Homo-oligomer: A and B are copies of this chain.
């Protein structure tokens, strides 16, 4: 039992164990590298060098490269799923405006800059390296997102079988915006990662979502 914390406060207070801190340093360094170069493109030598350790020391904290990657993914995705669940679980009566939701999601991604790249790489490989625990959390979140969008589309512009496509489209617009920034800067010269660009994207997303939820005019 750690001597620095009372048993009751232990989970809330700092963990403070010596090697536990090293594990976190490894996770932080590996997160950036995996996000930038992908799983196959990142070697344990890169990770060890970024942390300032030798390779064998990594194995004191993670049993294999695959498990290190899984730990990185869990550590990043899990808290975001929690927050997302909070958004989607809010009762309809307290539903925030489109602008508020978009602002919160964008702020969430600001706090987790590696998340979009990691998500894209994982979805692109069919989620083959996804932790089982993580995978089983996704389906209900998708389902809740479907219900929320369906309830928000009061005028019924979109048919029920288009709702999942709507959710996927929003996901791709948001995640894609962040992950294409380096490429877009390369080809156009404009930097999408500045605060001004971020605000512009929030403005655009708000207008776009409002347009999609506006009353549909008579069909021809």
B122, B172, B186: the one contacting A127 at CB < 8 Å is: B186
The verdict on A54 contacting chain B, using a C-beta distance below 8 Å, is no
- Count of chain A residues near B, Cβ 8 A: 56
Contact A126 B216 (CB under 8 A): no
Determine whether A59 belongs to the interface, using a CB cutoff of 8 Å to chain B. no
Interface positions, chain A 127-181, Cβ under 8 Å from B, are 127, 135, 138-139, 142, 157-159, 161-162, 164-166, 168-169, 171-173, 175-177, 179-180
Asked whether A142 and B200 contact (CB < 8 A) given A173-B169, A183-B123, A212-B208, the answer is no
Complex contact B162–A168 (CB within 8 A): no
Additional 4 contacts, C-beta under 8 A, given A38-B41, A142-B188: A121-B124, A123-B180, A135-B187, A212-B212
A158 CB to closest chain B CB (Å) equals 6
- Decide if A171 touches B176 in the complex (CB within 8 Å): yes
Asked if residues A165 and B41 are in contact (CB atoms below 8 Å), the reply is no
Q: Does A182 contact B (CB under 8 A)?
A: yes
